[in-house]
Each structure stands twice: as C-alpha cells, then as structure tokens.
Amino acid sequence: MSDELLVRYASPTLAALKVGSLISYRSGDTQSVQEQVDAWNELLNDRGVVVQLLSSKNDLHLMYVHRPQLLDEKLKEQDVQTVLCPLGYPIGSCPHLLRHLQTRLENQEETFPHEIGLFLGYPTEDVKAFIQNQGCKGLCDGCWKVYGDVEKAKRIFAHYKKCTKLYLKLHQNGRSLEQLTVRRKAL
C-alpha cells in the first residue's frame, strides 16, 4: 500500500476542499494495513488530517481520511443532527459519532449506513433523499447521487476531479504526501 493510494482517492481531503474520503483496500494482512494507517497519521496529523481504519471484514479494509475540524463543523449543523439522531447517533463530539458509525459498519447485515455521506461532507439534502429513495430517483450521479442542486454539485465534482488530477501529477513528479497536504489548524 503506497502513498499514491491516498493521493488517488483522498486528494480533495488532503487539499482541505472536502471533509473526508473513503478508501477501500483489499489485503489479507490487517496488521500491515493498520501500520500504514499509523504511519500516515504520524505524517499528516499535524497538518489537520486523520486516517482511521473504520472497518476490516473479509480482507476488505475501509479507511476514512478526514479533517476533524471540518467534520466537527459539518456534524454540528442542525439539519445533519436531524438525520443522525434518529439513527441512534449520540449528540456530542466527533470521536463519539465516529465510534457509532464504526459500530453501524461492523453490525451491518444487509443495509449499508448511507448516512456516511454526511461524514464525507455531502450535502445533507442529498444524503437524506438518498436514504429515503433507497438510492433511486437521483437527478445526477458523480461523487455522490444528487437530489438537490445539480449545477452546484457538478461544479464540485469538476473541482474534485481537477484537484485529484493535479495531485496525482505532482505526486508522480516527486511531491511527497506531506507536501501535498494543506496544513490546517487542528482542533
């Protein structure tokens, strides 16, 4: 597992354009995955980025790359809380909410916890509508399924794509992960 994995799938988060990104990675060696997560945290935490292993099942590891400061701001929004509270999320700090998300991921039988979109910074109206419509009837697909402001979402999708393309090029030309990660003040 190389730094390119983070650059390829989490550039908008590294650039502080996005609250968080999910990366799924297949490996039979959970310990080496956790060691890589720890190494990334050593490198990126002081720049305001945290990498967390959310789930490991059947050799599939789900990593959450996020900016705690941006996540905290997002999860404090009233409309976000109206989605999370009925799903059993505690009102409180990000670590408590993330633990609950982790529990929901670990305990999922047939239903994926689609509220995870809120933890990625997706618009609340789109996450709510996705859950209500069971992923159907969207107006546009991109980084997420859009039910609300299509034009705004398309601009964001293009921005994320441009960021990822630029970051991949810079990384291939020798920029380190640390150099590519925008420093933001930690909480």
Q: pLDDT digits over 115-144, tens only?
A: 999 999 999 999 999 999 988 999 999 999
Rounded Cα distance between 173 and 181, Å, is: 15
Count other C-beta atoms under 10 Å from residue 142's C-beta: 15
DSSP-assigned beta bridge partners for residue 140: 146
Per-residue confidence (pLDDT) for residue 28, from 0 to 100? 80
Q: How far apart are CA 179 and CA 69, in angstroms?
A: 20
Q: Where are the beta strands (DSSP E) in the chain?
A: 20-26, 50-57, 60-66, 140-141, 145-146
Determine contact, residues 23/49, Cβ cutoff 8 Å.
no
Per-residue model confidence as pLDDT tens digits over 66-102: 999 999 999 999 999 999 999 889 887 888 899 999 9
Q: How many domains does the chain contain in total? A: 1
Structural domain includes residue 187 = no
Phi, psi (degrees; rounded to nearest 5) at 144: -145, 170
For residues 121 and 15, the answer to whether their CB atoms sit within 8 Å is no
pTM score: 0.91
Report yes or no on 156 lying in a domain.
yes
Residue 66 lies in a domain: yes
Amino acid, res. 151 = E
Bridge-based pairing of strands 50-57 and 60-66 is antiparallel
Residue 180, in any domain of the structure:
no
Alpha carbons 132 and 128: distance in angstroms, whole number: 6
186, part of any domain: no
Instruction: Give yes or no for residue 166 having a pLDDT over 70.
Output: yes
* pLDDT tens digits along 27-56: 888 888 999 999 999 999 999 999 999 988
Measured CA distances, 182 to 2, 39, 47, 64 (Å): 19, 18, 7, 17
Which residue in this structure is represented by tokens 């982790």? Answer: 102
The verdict on residue 157 lying in a domain is yes
Question: 112: domain range?
Answer: 3-175
- Kindly state whether residue 184 falls inside one of the protein's structural domains: no
The answer to whether 98 touches 60, Cβ cutoff 8 Å, is: no
- Classify residue 182: in a domain, yes or no: no
CB 30 within 8 A of CB 78: no
What is the distance in angstroms between the CA of the first residue and the CA of the last residue of the chain? 29
